[in-house]
Structure 1
Amino acid sequence: MTRHPAQQSKNKFTIVHSLPHRLRLRCNLLHDPALDVDYLSALIESQPGVQNVRINRLASSIIIEFTQAHSGQNNTEALHNQILHTLNTLPGEAFLPDPERESGPDIMDVAGHIAAAAATPALPLPVKAGVSWFLALPTLVDGVRTLIERGLKIEVLDGTAKLFALLRGDYFTSNTVGALLKLGAYVEHSTENKTNDLLKNLLQPQVEEVRILRDEVESKIPFEQTSVGDQVVCGPGELVPVDGDVMRGEASINMSSVTGESVPVHIKPGDSVLSGGVIEDGRIVVRAEMVGSETSMARISNYLKKSLRDKSTSQRQTEALADKLVPLTFGAGLGIYALTGDASRAASVLTVDYSCAIKLATPVAVRSAMYVAGREGVILKGASALDSLARVDTVLFDKTGTLTKGQLAVTDVIPLHGMTENDFLSMAAGAEEHYAHPVAHAVVAEARKRKLPLPEASQVDFVVAHGVSAYVRDVRVLVGSRHFIHDDEQIDCSSADEQTDKLLGDGKSLLYVACNNQLAGIIGVRDELRHEARDMLRQLKTMGITRLVVLTGDHQRTAEALWAQLPELDEVHSELKPEDKARILKGFQNQGHKVAFVGDGVNDAPALLSADVGICMPSGADLARESAQVILMTEDIGGLALARAVSQKVESTLRHCLWSAVSINSLILAFASAGKLPAITAAALHNGSTIGILGYAAMRNRSTPQPKKPQPPKKTCAPIPSDDIDFSLAPITTGIEGVAPHAHVVG
Structure 2
Amino acid sequence: MAQKRMTIKEADMLQYYLEGFDFVKKVVVYERTCDVAIYYKNNKRESVIKRLKKFNYNDTALLENMPNTSGRQITREFQEKMVGMLLSFGVRRLFFPNIINSVYTIVKAAPLVWRGIKCIVSRKLEVDLLDALSVAISIVQGNYSTAGSLMLLLDIGNELEDWTHKKSVDDLARSMSLNVDKVWLVTENEEVSVPISHIKTGDLIRVHTGNVVPLDGEMVSGEAMLNQASLTGESVPVEKSAGSRVYAGTVVEEGECLLRATVTNGQSRYDKIVSMIEDSEKLKSNTENMANRLADRLVPYSLLTTGLTYLFTRNITRALSVLMVDFSCALKLSMPLAVLSAMREAGNDKITVKGGKFMEAIAKADTIVFDKTGTLTYACPKVQRIIGIDGDDENQLLKIAACLEEHYPHSIANAVVKEAKERKIRHKEMHSEVQYIVAHGIASTIEGDKVVIGSYHFVIEDEKALLSEDAKRKVENLDHRYSHLFMAIAGRLAAIIEIADPLRAEAKDVLKKLKALGIKKTVMMTGDNQYTAEAIAKEVGVDKYYAEVLPEDKASYVEKEKAKGRTVIMIGDGINDSPALSAADCGIAISEGAAIAREIADVCVSADDLNELVKLKELSNKLTKRVESNFRFIMGFNGSLIGLGILGILAPATSSFLHNASTVGIALSSMTNLLPED
TM-score between both structures, scaled by the size of structure 1:
0.63
The within-5 A match list for 1:322-471 is 322-415=295-388, 419-420=390-391, 422-423=392-393, 426-427=396-397, 430=400, 433-435=403-405, 436-437=407-408, 438=410, 439=412, 442-443=415-416, 446=419, 463-468=437-442
CA contact (8 A) 1:336 1:346 kept: yes
**How far off is 1:355 after superposition?**
0.9
Match of 1:482 among 456, 470, 473: 456
**How far off is 1:508 after superposition?**
1.2
Secondary structure of 2:361 counterpart: helix
Match of 1:524 among 498, 514, 518: 498
What amino acid is the match of 1:398? Answer: D
Question: Could you tell me which residue of structure 2 aligns to residue 110 of structure 1?
Answer: 85
Counterparts of 1:292 and 1:536 in 2: how far apart (Å)? 44
Counterparts of 1:476 and 1:557 in 2: how far apart (Å)? 31
What amino acid is the match of 1:566? Answer: V
Deviations 1:354-411 (A, max 9, x none): 0111111123222322332222222222423323322222222222222222324332
Question: Could you tell me which residue of structure 2 aligns to residue 249 of structure 1?
Answer: none
The answer on 1:319 being equivalent to 2:289 is no
The answer on 1:560 being equivalent to 2:530 is no
Question: Could you tell me which residue of structure 2 aligns to residue 8 of structure 1?
Answer: none
The answer on 1:227 being equivalent to 2:200 is no
Counterparts of 2:524 and 2:384 in 1: how far apart (Å)? 23
The within-5 A match list for 1:68-79 is 69=57
The within-5 A match list for 1:133-282 is 133-149=106-122, 151-199=124-172, 202=175, 224-225=200-201, 227-228=203-204
The answer on 1:306 being equivalent to 2:279 is no
The answer on 1:601 being equivalent to 2:574 is yes
Cα distance change, pair 487–330 in 1 and its aligned pair in 2 (3 A): same
Deviations 1:659-694 (A, max 9, x none): 100011111112223333322222222122222222
**How far off is 1:657 after superposition?**
1.0
Question: Could you tell me which residue of structure 1 aligns to residue 565 of structure 2?
Answer: 592
Secondary structure of 2:378 counterpart: coil
Deviations 1:129-150 (A, max 9, x none): 5344223222211212234347
Secondary structure of 1:554 counterpart: coil
Counterparts of 2:394 and 2:382 in 1: how far apart (Å)? 17
Question: Could you tell me which residue of structure 2 aligns to residue 652 of structure 1?
Answer: 625
CA contact (8 A) 1:433 1:440 kept: no
Counterparts of 2:87 and 2:423 in 1: how far apart (Å)? 79
**How far off is 1:117 after superposition?**
8.3
Counterparts of 1:325 and 1:460 in 2: how far apart (Å)? 61
Q: Which structure has the larger Rg over C-alpha atoms? A: 1
Question: Could you tell me which residue of structure 2 aligns to residue 633 of structure 1?
Answer: 606
Counterparts of 2:111 and 2:351 in 1: how far apart (Å)? 44
Question: Could you tell me which residue of structure 2 aligns to residue 510 of structure 1?
Answer: 484
Secondary structure of 2:404 counterpart: coil
Structure 1 residue runs of 5 or longer lacking an equivalent are: 1-20, 24-41, 43-50, 52-66, 88-102, 207-211, 216-220, 231-240, 243-288, 707-747
CA contact (8 A) 1:105 1:185 kept: no
CA contact (8 A) 1:602 1:623 kept: yes
CA contact (8 A) 2:401 2:487 kept: no
Counterparts of 1:401 and 1:188 in 2: how far apart (Å)? 43
Secondary structure of 2:362 counterpart: helix
Counterparts of 1:453 and 1:628 in 2: how far apart (Å)? 34
Question: Could you tell me which residue of structure 1 aligns to residue 226 of structure 2?
Answer: none
Deviations 1:50-91 (A, max 9, x none): x9xxxxxxxxxxxxxxx9946x99xx9xx9xx99xx99xxxx
Cα distance change, pair 610–705 in 1 and its aligned pair in 2 (3 A): farther
**How far off is 1:222 after superposition?**
11
Question: Could you tell me which residue of structure 1 aligns to residue 595 of structure 2?
Answer: 622
Say which structure, 1 or 2, has more relative contact order (CA 8 Å, 6+ apart).
2
Cα distance change, pair 617–146 in 1 and its aligned pair in 2 (3 A): same
Counterparts of 1:180 and 1:442 in 2: how far apart (Å)? 62
Cα distance change, pair 409–139 in 1 and its aligned pair in 2 (3 A): same
**How far off is 1:471 after superposition?**
6.4
The within-5 A match list for 1:661-676 is 661-676=634-649
Deviations 1:25-64 (A, max 9, x none): xxxxxxxxxxxxxxxxx9xxxxxxxx9xxxxxxxxxxxxx
Secondary structure of 1:699 counterpart: coil
TM-score between both structures, scaled by the size of structure 2:
0.69
Identity of aligned residues (%): 29
Q: How many residues align structurally?
A: 548
Structure 2 residue runs of 5 or longer lacking an equivalent are: 1-6, 10-15, 17-28, 30-54, 70-77, 181-185, 190-196, 207-213, 216-258
Deviations 1:608-650 (A, max 9, x none): 2222212122412222222122222222222121122222222
Question: Could you tell me which residue of structure 2 aligns to residue 575 of structure 1?
Answer: 548
Secondary structure of 1:397 counterpart: strand
Counterparts of 2:8 and 2:672 in 1: how far apart (Å)? 33
